Structure 1
Amino acid sequence: MKKIIFCLLLVLPSWVFAQIGIRTGANFANVTKASSINNSSRSGFHVGVLLSPSSKGIISSRTELIFSRQGYDYKTGTNTGNVNLDYIMMPQLMSINITKYFSILVGGHMAFLLNAKVDSSNGTSGGIGNDIMDLYNRFDYGYGGGVEVHPYKGLLVGARVNISLGNLYDPNSYANGSSPSFIPKIDVKNNVFQVYAGWKLGGTKKDKKKNE
């Protein structure tokens, strides 16, 4: 929580001169290098706010605060199930404005795990219950990029890929040194493909004059 508050304080000054917006959409999440659990993509959602400081050039910046539901489906022997991971993500992006209607976004993100639960077909989770927060690293980070279209006034439509660099599973978290069946035996990382729509709100007077 202290890390979240600190990051919010860092971006707070830019809010005063920023155009504010909202966005929401679908997640198609998975984890890398997890063949041992026959993992597959899991659908989720995300919703949040975006802040775009005023800029007249081809390059501008974007700060976002996003709630993102991710995870993966798995199959191990006779057991199938899914792992749900809820994150607060803070992407910091550079926007390359090709035209007023089309942009390319690239940058990095930090993420903080809020909730982790497993749902198994046989009703068990290796004796640890459904709440599995302690098995996962709370902090994640990575990079991403995508494209965005602005077809009408404040409307925006986009697609993005987020690739994590931090390890998902905490190997020191399991008491006897062996992980449950739904945890891959090697380091794995989050991958998320997002499609979304949103709306940019009025913004500052400077933004309004620029858009007139």
Structure 2
Amino acid sequence: MNIALSPLFWSLALCGLATTAHAQSNAPLRFGVRGGLNLSTQQQSVGSNGRRSSVSNDNLTGVHTGIVAEVPLAGDLSLRPELLFSRKGLEYSYSALGQSIGYTDKLSYLTLPVSLTYRVHAGPAALVLGAGPYVGVLVNAERTGSAKVLSSSFTRTGDLNIGSGDNDDYQTVDAGLNFQGLVEVDRVFVGAHYGLGLTNVQAAGHDDDNYRRNRGWEFTLGVYLAK
């Protein structure tokens, strides 16, 4: 739990430092919106008694949307807190001897990334590079499973349980690091973010051999509401 909460601690600490630094700056705050496409998966390991193996999961396509703030600090340094709705998850499939099984997990998060950014000017455009912690709260989880056995095919969709109990499927909190690279022209920006999950989001089997960690790209387009 301490590991899971440490990105939250750093997010709040960065916001506090930014408030202090911005109080000494004359540059205005900026607010905007952004949204786009997600490509997400999970780093997964299964095992017992110190023996583990990796599970190969495919990417799930989703979306994200939310609000952005830019807090000028000093020079070209800024702090960029965001509040986003983001669809993460994975797709898994396995087949052998003409039989197959698979499932798709769709995980809906409210995420709070807080990034320290640096702006490199290039004529009318600017390259914005940043990194920082993020914390996400899982608000909905759904699994669609399918199987083909002999000549029969089956598909079933249902909600997954969220929490930390024995009967739960996914943890409520996800946390990790966020990296970003954006190209900004006037009030419009476009670019990519990468989320590196550091916590085990699997509710059952919290050990070194059984874990799931979110990984994923966000390809985004956004606009500031003022220059």
TM-score grouping bracket, smaller chain normalisation: 0.7 to 0.9
CA apart distance, 1:154: 0.6
Answering whether residue 212 of structure 2 is matched by residue 192 of structure 1, we say no
Instruction: Report matched runs for 1:77-96 at 5 Å.
Output: 77=95, 78-96=100-118
CA apart distance, 1:81: 2.3
Structure 1 counterpart SS, 2:155: coil
1:26 pairs, out of 18, 37, 45, with 37
Q: Deviations over 1:108-136 (max 9, x none)?
A: 10000010000112234xxxx71113310
Give the Cα separation in 2 of the matches to 1:61 and 1:116.
31
Give the Cα separation in 2 of the matches to 1:52 and 1:130.
39
Q: Deviations over 1:83-132 (max 9, x none)?
A: 100000000100111226111011010000010000112234xxxx7111
Give the Cα separation in 2 of the matches to 1:197 and 1:112.
23
Q: Percent identity?
A: 25
Answering whether residue 169 of structure 2 is matched by residue 135 of structure 1, we say yes
CA apart distance, 1:19: 0.9
Give the Cα separation in 1 of the matches to 2:88 and 2:36.
12
CA apart distance, 1:65: 0.1
Give the aligned partner of residue 182 of structure 1: none
Stretches of structure 2 that go unaligned for 5 or more consecutive residues are 6-10, 20-27, 46-52, 147-153, 162-167
The amino acid across from 1:49 in the alignment is I
Contact 2:205–2:211, Cα closer than 8 Å, also in 1: no
Q: Deviations over 1:21-56 (max 9, x none)?
A: 000011000101357654201110100000112345
Contact 1:47–1:67, Cα closer than 8 Å, also in 2: yes
Identify the range of structure 1 (27-36 vs 131-140) with the bigger mean alpha-carbon deviation: 27-36
The amino acid across from 2:159 in the alignment is D
Instruction: State the aligned residue count.
Output: 181
TM-score (norm 2): 0.71
Contact 2:41–2:90, Cα closer than 8 Å, also in 1: yes
Answering whether residue 87 of structure 2 is matched by residue 69 of structure 1, we say yes
Whose strand proportion is higher, 1 or 2? 2
2:131 pairs, out of 106, 116, 133, with 106
* Cα RMSD for the two superposed structures: 2.9
TM-score (norm 1): 0.76
Bigger Rg, structure 1 or 2: 2
